Structure 1
């Protein structure tokens, strides 16, 4: 039987990732951009991964003089071998990249289903696979998978996205069990609808799928099940990601950190 843990009487330190390398996918905009900036501000050298070269350059410019800085890394996550190589030597891995298409199953293009599962589930597996040798070697690592309330609940017309996020939850838990003896934690962050370009692109599709005007989509569909009737800001998600990298979160692993405004309380 192990001795009980005695909490320190000192105040918990602020997040300090000085000397650490973090990789964030989907970093050119939305949640990924906010995470990259937050981790750089904490001192990490951030490898910002995205297909959007112009967006990455703008992000890197925004981060000049900020903590560890941001290094743009243009990469299409459909190239799984390149994704795995890109993760080598990282201390913090944030799997964030995602895409969305809203269609009934009978109308959902199989090629798009394949792409969504590749980018949002198979690529995170390959990135984790590439990052773990370094993390295990040093006895420390943080994997944060940006999941969704749709990793815990389903919604109609989102078969690919819901399938990918449910799979990501299982991958994250498996990584947590395997990583625990090596000082590596793995967790999901599960926001509801976040104010991002990805969300804005959904509105027309949601209106068609639900046969309602576009101006009714946010209140009538997106916020219908949320007790807190507003969208989440990307910076709020980034703070949750940062917390899971902090020293005081070292005992948190294999879990889903839910930021859903009360959606799953129903």
Structure 2
């Protein structure tokens, strides 16, 4: 599938899943905006993907409205428009609910939900007039399933389903589609950070966290890969009709089937 010069803003794209999505988009003929809190890493990632012709970097704290608006405006000024949003930026904080700091709860929802809202609001200003666009939100199996210690994360990822479904309805008359990608556990720094944290909280070994907690419900005991998710993101961005709008697609080696 090809993107034929379409412009994609990918948040949290200096590393991990976001970076691989950006790479896949450039390989498919798209142009990408690497939006990340770490501007040095974003600049390096943009250079790696081809430099100013195919990729630029913008500094963006997705929970800061001024930074989101400035980043999107810079992206549109550079490439002419925004055709695709991949709202991917996210963090993970784990605690049992009785110990979960309220500040950490607000930070989680601010990045995952406020960030998706603010980026959507800024990007549809360019999508609506051109009567086309694709909104892609990075959910999780936790958009559908709950896990202990992850009250804020599960709440945020469930919330993205609601935002995406609403945008599928609001965006339809403007030619804008909306979807959620729901990965299983992908071996990124975000997941690597969780392994010792959950081992400590659950009182089990790190090996058991991987085999039982993270991969125990998969059909093959395998991690989902960044390539798996990048392929799904390309499929959704390049899809030609509204047939799939409002849907979530789960890539989890059978962990969640629905």
Corresponding residue number in structure 2 for 1:168: 160
Match of 1:230 among 222, 232, 239: 222
Structure 2 residue runs of 5 or longer lacking an equivalent are 74-80
Contact between 1:85 and 1:130, CA under 8 Å: does it hold in 2?
no
In the alignment, structure 1 residue 82 sits paired with structure 2 residue 67 = yes
Q: Tell me how far apart the structure 2 counterparts of residues 99 and 65 of structure 1 sit (CA, whole Å).
A: 27
Aligned 1:1-266 pairs, distance under 5 A: 14-18=1-5, 20-64=6-50, 69-88=54-73, 89-248=81-240, 250-265=242-257
Give the 3-state SS of the residue equivalent to 1:228 in structure 2: coil
Contact between 1:22 and 1:90, CA under 8 Å: does it hold in 2?
yes
Return the TM-score normalized by structure 2: 0.92
Structure 1 residue runs of 5 or longer lacking an equivalent are 1-13
Q: Tell me how far apart the structure 1 counterparts of residues 133 and 141 of structure 2 sit (CA, whole Å).
A: 25
Deviation at 1:215, TM superposition (A): 2.4
Q: Tell me how far apart the structure 1 counterparts of residues 199 and 192 of structure 2 sit (CA, whole Å).
A: 12
Point out the structure with max Rg over C-alpha: 1
The 3 A distance-change label for structure 1 pair 79 and 57 is: same
Q: Deviations over 1:205-243 (max 9, x none)?
A: 110121101222110210011113111111110110110
Return the TM-score normalized by structure 1: 0.90
Contact between 2:62 and 2:119, CA under 8 Å: does it hold in 1?
no
CA RMSD of aligned residues (A): 1.7
Q: Tell me how far apart the structure 1 counterparts of residues 186 and 17 of structure 2 sit (CA, whole Å).
A: 8
Give the 3-state SS of the residue equivalent to 2:163 in structure 1: helix
Contact between 1:195 and 1:233, CA under 8 Å: does it hold in 2?
yes
Q: Tell me how far apart the structure 2 counterparts of residues 81 and 172 of structure 1 sit (CA, whole Å).
A: 23
Q: Tell me how far apart the structure 2 counterparts of residues 136 and 151 of structure 1 sit (CA, whole Å).
A: 27
Find runs of 4+ consecutive structure 1 residues off by over 3 angstroms. Answer: 247-250
Aligned residues between the structures: 251
Deviation at 1:57, TM superposition (A): 2.5
